[in-house]
Amino acid sequence: MGCGTSVATETQVKRLETDEAVRSPSPALTMKAAVLIQRWYRRYMARLEMRRRYTWNIFQSIEYAGEQEQLQLSSFFTYMLDNFTQLNGNGPDLISQLLDPVVDPWLDRETCYNLISVPESYTGPRISFPLTVSDTAALLSAFKEQQILHAKYVLQLLNETKKLLKQMPNIVHLSTSYTKEITICGDLHGRLDDLLLIFYKNGLPSAETPYLFNGDFVDRGKKSVEVVTLLFAYLLLYPDHMHLNRGNHEDHIMNLRYGFTKEVMLKYKTYGHEILQLFQDVFSLLPIATVIDGKILIVHGGISDQTDLEFLSSVERYKVKSALRFPRCSLEQLDIGRSYRLAKRMRSTDSPRSGSSHSYNESQRSPRQRKRRCGLSSQDSAASTSSSSSSLSSSSSLCSPRTPSSLSPRPCPPSPRMPHSVLQVPFLDSLSSVPLPSPPQHEQEWKQIVDILWSDPKTQEGCSPNTFRGGGCYFGPDVTKRLLLQHGLQLLIRSHECKQEGYELCHDGQVITIFSASNYYEVGSNRGAYIKLGRELVPRFYQYQVSRTTRKLTLTQRVQAAEGSALRALKEKLFAHRSELMTGFQQFDQSDAGSITVSEWAQVLEAILRLDLPWRTLRPHLARLTPDGSIEYQSCFEDMGPGVPLPQVAPNLAETVFRYRTDIEIIFNIIDKDHSGLISTEEFRHTWRLFSTHLGIDIDDTAIDDLARSIDFNKDGSIDFTEFLEAFRVVHKLDFKEQLGEKVDEVKYSGGKHL
């Protein structure tokens, strides 16, 4: 048919043009016209589907790449804890105050919370304990009206939640014989609208409507505080009908990067630290798994081939505060002096306030020694990147062995004297190894819990480290089968991954992923869903999508919006790696023509950005072609620029700031204890030097000083870091969304002073 049909149609249609007298076309002609239109339309839909697919790919790749960077940040915090001396000589270590439990002068916190006074002018909800239905109703309506709950009530609520959770086991066993259908929800990520929609469609939590929320209540979305407050309130109100599992974002270090910490600090200026401290405790006390009727296992991430439910029932779960704080190891198991020093460094990050005195000792070494110690750990590592896989199975490695050679500046020669199991600690763009003795109890606990919270199912059999995320495992259908069989289970329900339809089945129907944050990447990107499970234990799925506009967006508009958003994010990535990319491109362009082939271009992008994306398909959005069909690589960076004219800085310094902008913002927020939006020039210099040392970037002190001086706009010795960050925000010169006539919901980077 193919060619034949279209030619016939063309001829016949052309004939029609000339023959004006034909009023009613023959049935054959009508049919041919219809076929043409149908074909044209189907092609259009296919292309739309294509765009939707790769837009999704972009979002996911960037998200997971971001999560990998997160681990690098956590090691930087560890590093800072060891090396960061107080800047003005008085006051305790600023960092450990935030990250470590503070031994507080207040003996009875509960009494202290009760003593906080709420001013008359406060118009928000006032709740009392024990909570009643009217309290939760008050919270619901208050949050719908954008009100903020007073810190006193938050502290009390968290305290009560902590007391309740302490009584719960690690694995909660539920039975449907006493309950009606149970509703199981996945990730919410601070999306209050989705939670409210679920409550609206499905009913509020009650004896008739029990719920289980499977982790990741906070981070990313703007209303994490409200979401988690409601969940905890219902937990206190109906402890038998409301159930919560811990997710990988119920973790104070993840919160530092993904927005929860910031949200709390912005909403609670006086008691922010105290609230965060309580959250840290509460999160670590959340149960890690739930089993329904002894048949259905529900965890946030997944499982590994080493998952041992009996062992998990017995661990002290509250000890694993964060997946990103490596477990402590005991002194007795060490044998060499060098290991002792390194182990002591690990310990000092975990121990309470007395630990900060350790870090003083460490940091009192001369700068040269300090630097050498960092260099030492990377050069003396027993495992090079290629053999890290052997250490992964025994020890608790959280890094990706997949490091392109262009990015690891320090090769790791093997050294026979080191202990067998090593911990690969990523220091931003390089890897260094911290040798650990054989895994003590704590490490096992940590690994088992991390596996439960971070793993993803894959179709290939077997179990391998989850290099994408940098934590947990990829587990195959055989792993699932074995575990389910071992415990007489029939189904695993988990969350952790965004799915376009809100849910997805895999492993032959033995694993269900349930995700409850609709429009997760962008408006229209995906639906949310929840599961209802009755006594017969057959899951039923309910989907929904939050819509902020009254006008229903067509599929085309949704795809266009999501695509625009994804492409912006992708272009920012390109921009942030500009000089590396240019170097890569120029390597293929010896004659300095300004262009290279599409293949070469794709190769460079793949190697440097480490994002597995269909670059050729994306090419029209990213770069221009020359008349002969090769790529003008400079055009990749054309329609973007800095927020405001940049101060005169060394080019690689500027790019570094662009790339690590989010991390820098977090660090500044930590340093800025009084939330003034200002830090001293000295603090800035000190932090920046540490950061660049850590990155292994050779930036001389004068460049840093110049930068500090140039952004100290009023020359008063303090830097408004909000303005600083504004300068390093990537601005898109061609704003797609404005072209579409839609309002851009820009993320506001505001310092504390604006609220």
Which residues are the active-site residues?
249
**Maximum CA pair distance of the chain?**
101
- What does the alpha-carbon distance between residue 129 and residue 157 come to, in Å, rounded to a whole number? 8
- Reported as half-sphere exposure (CB side, CA atoms, 13 A), residue 212 has a value of 33
SS3 at position 329:
coil
Q: Which helix (H) or strand (E) holds 595?
A: strand 595-596
Q: Which residues bind other proteins (CB under 8 A)?
A: 1-3, 5-6, 9-10, 13, 16-17, 23-25, 29-51, 53-54, 57, 459-460, 554-556, 560, 563-564, 598-599, 614-617, 620-621, 628-629, 736
CB of 398 to other proteins, least distance (A): 23
Smaller CB separation from other proteins, 14 or 269:
14
Q: Is 38 helix (H, G, I), strand (E, B) or coil?
A: helix
Taking a C-beta distance cutoff of 8 angstroms, is the pair 714, 723 a contact? Answer: no
Distance CA 251, CA 249 (A): 5
CB of 12 to other proteins, least distance (A): 9
Taking the complex as a whole, how short is the minimal distance between the CB of residue 47 and other proteins, in angstroms? 5
Pairing relationship of beta strands 640-642 and 730-732 according to DSSP bridges: antiparallel
Q: Scan for tokens 């993904």, then name that residue.
A: 258
For residue 416, say if its preceding peptide bond is cis, omega within 30 degrees of 0.
no
Q: Which is nearer to other proteins, 337 or 620 (CB)?
A: 620
Q: Are 215 and 495 in contact (CB under 8 A)?
A: yes
Is 17 or 698 the residue whose CB approaches other proteins more closely?
A: 17
Nearer to other proteins, 395 or 480 (CB): 480
Q: How far apart are CA 233 and CA 157, in angstroms?
A: 7
Least distance (Å) between residue 548 CB and other proteins: 19
CB of 619 to other proteins, least distance (A): 10
Identify which of residues 51 and 162 has a Cβ nearer to other proteins in the complex: 51
Q: Determine how many CB atoms are found less than 10 A away from the CB of residue 22.
A: 11
Alpha carbons within 13 angstroms on the beta-carbon side of residue 16 total: 15
Contact (Cβ atoms closer than 8 angstroms) between residue 442 and residue 417: no
CB of 739 to other proteins, least distance (A): 8
Closest CA to 673 of 252, 265, 258, 101: 265
Q: At its nearest, how many Å lie between other proteins and the CB of residue 673? A: 46
Nearer of residues 43 and 371 to other proteins, judged by Cβ: 43
For the residues of 182-249, what is the DSSP string, one character each?
Answer: EEEE-B-TT-HHHHHHHHHHH--SSSSS-EEE-S--SSSSTTHHHHHHHHHHHHHH-TTTEEE---TT
Nearer to other proteins, 240 or 612 (CB): 612
What is the C-alpha to C-alpha distance for residues 485 and 263, in angstroms, rounded to an integer?
43
